[in-house]
Amino acid sequence: MNDLAGKTLFITGASRGIGLAVALKAASQGANIVIAAKTSSPHPKLPGTIFTAAEEVEKAGGKALPLVVDIREESQLSAAATTAAETFGGIDILINNASAIFLSGTLNTPMKRFDLMNQVNVRGTFLASQVCLPHLLKSDNPHILTFSPPLNLNPRWFKNHTAYTMAKYGMSMTVLGLSAEFSEQGVAVNALWPKTVINTAALAMLGGLVDPQKCRTPEIMADAACAILCRDSRTCSGNFFIDEDVLRGQGVTDFSPYAVADGNQLYPDLFLD
C-alpha cells in the first residue's frame, strides 16, 4: 500500500491533539475519518469539537463522520461502529487514541481519577477494539493502532504515578493480547509511543509541569502512524513502535520540523529508559 486513499479510520478522541493530527494526515491521502469523541460543544479549557475537526478533515481532502461518543459507554461505541460501517461500507483501521492522565502518587490520587483512567484507557481501548473487530475482519488490510507505551517493568515508571502507569500498561497489554489472538485472521495490532513529549492540550491539564517549548508537535506521531498503517497487516503485528524509530526506518533524518521550538533540549517521554 502506498497510501490510505479510500480507507476508513475510526479514531477515538479525534477532536484535538494527536488524534486530530492523525485524522488530518490520513485525510490528506483521501481517507474516510470517523471522529469518535465526546466534545460536541466547545470545552471551556480545551480546543476543538467533533464538528470543527470534521471541517478540518474535509478541507484536508478526506471524508468526515463526526459522532458523539463517550468511550466509557458501551451502547454509544457499539452504535458508532455500526454507523461508521454503514456510512463508509466498513472499517479498515481503529486508532485507540483516547486517554486520560493524572500524574500523582497513590495518596493523592482520588478514586474518581483512578476509575476515569481505567474506564477510558483500559476499558475504552478493549471495548473500541471489540466493537470494531467484526468490521475489521472484513477488511483486506485491517489495523488496530493503540497509542500506548512498551511494557517496561522498571519500578521508576511506577514510583511516582502508579495509577496512571497501570492504566497505560493496560492499553499495552490489550495490544499484546489482541495481536496474538487475531494473528491468524490477519489483523495487525500494534502500539505507538512518542520518544519525546508531544505538545497537546493535555499538557495544560498538568499545571505547567511540562514546558511546551521543549516538546514535539503531534505531526510526528501522525506521520509515524500513517507509515505503520500502510504496511501489510499480516506481516506487521505485535510491535511496540516508537515514533522516531518508525520514521528513521522510512528514511527521515531531520526531525527539527517536528520541534515546537528549535534548539531546545527535548523532554523524553515516560516509560522509555
Q: Specify whether 164 is catalytic.
A: yes
Which residues are paired to 141 by β-bridges? none
CA distances from 101 to 138, 139, 165, 166, 202 (A): 34, 32, 9, 11, 8
Please, which residues have CB within 8 angstroms of residue 10's CB and are 6 or more apart in sequence?
34, 36, 80, 81, 84, 91, 93, 94, 95, 128, 132
Question: Any idea which residue has 487514541 for its cell?
Answer: 97
Q: What H or E segment, with its residue span, contains residue 245? A: helix 243-249
108 burial (CB, 10 Å; 0-12 / 13-18 / 19+) is exposed
| Residues 242 and 199: beta-carbon distance below 8 Å | no
| Residues 32 and 56: beta-carbon distance below 8 Å | no
Distance in angstroms (rounded) separating the CA atoms of residues 116 and 43: 18
The residues annotated with a catalytic role in the active site are 164
